[in-house]
Amino acid sequence: MSNLYGYARVSTKEQKEDRQLLALTQMQLSLKNIYVDKQSGKDFERPMYMRLMKKLREDDVLYIKSIDRLGRNYEEILEQWRMLTREKKVDIVVLDMPLLDTRRGKDLMGTFLSDIVLQVLSFVAENERKNIRERQREGIEAAKVRGVHFGRPVNPLPRNFDKTCRRWASGEMSGRQAAKLCGMPASTFYRKGKEWKERKMRKRR
């Protein structure tokens, strides 16, 4: 008699797997047969996935919510699909895509259609991830243009910074003396002082 298993994955520990678990339990799966990983799918060194692989036997059925739970790119998804269906000889049911149910159509045509649908969906999933990364990059660039700063908050300059920079720029004192007067490391003062000079030059143009 075949056993029924489920696999769920979220990319970070902060993400919730509730939606995937709800879909899997609706398939009458026992909670002890549902394996959950909370880490990136960039490789398959995932403890629960590896434990599941050891459990699966021929004719068992593996349920997943969506095809991208098997991997993070086109090649990995196809590799895992073929390993599961052809080497381990288990059936896979993708809940988000009823066409990807290897229990149906085990003849040549059914297998051919499953392979075609799988390749198309894997390609779409990978492209969507690339698009998300590109949108994130563009969003960060746009935010920088608007003056949004990322990383550690910038410490405010001391009140005497502008006056001290004027004296330093005029040669009245050295950079180290100016830095000490502002209570700043010399390297920080030189960097901020250079930015101050550039701003002054732009205003004069």
Which CB contacts under 8 angstroms, 24+ apart, belong to 195-200?
196/161, 196/162, 196/165, 197/165, 197/169
Worst-scoring range by mean pLDDT, 48-52, 99-103, 119-123, 180-184? 119-123
Q: Which residue has the higher pLDDT, 57 or 39?
A: 57
Q: Give the tens place of pLDDT for each residue, 162-188.
A: 999 999 999 999 999 999 999 999 989
Share of the chain above pLDDT 90, in %: 31
Q: Report the predicted TM-score, pTM, of the whole model to 2 decimal places.
A: 0.56
Amino acid making up residue 165: C
Express as a percent the part of the chain with pLDDT over 70. Answer: 81
Using an 8 Å Cβ cutoff, are 52 and 22 in contact? no
In angstroms, the CA 109 to CA 124 distance is: 23
How far, in Å, are 32, 58, 60, 65, 94 from residue 7 at the CA level?
A: 11, 17, 13, 8, 11
pLDDT score for 121: 66
Please give the residue that has the higher pLDDT: either 116 or 108.
116
Instruction: Scan for tokens 């243009």, then name that residue.
Output: 145
Indicate which residues carry an active-site annotation: 11
Q: Residue 14: its pLDDT value, please?
A: 62
Distance (Å, whole) CA 75 – CA 86:
16
126 has a pLDDT exceeding 80: no
Taking a C-beta distance cutoff of 8 angstroms, is the pair 188, 179 a contact? yes
> Going by C-beta distance under 8 Å and a sequence separation of 6 or more, which residues neighbour residue 33?
3, 4, 5, 6
Q: Which has the higher per-residue pLDDT, 194 or 38?
A: 194
> For residue 154, is pLDDT > 70?
no
Q: Does the pLDDT value for residue 109 go beyond 60? A: no
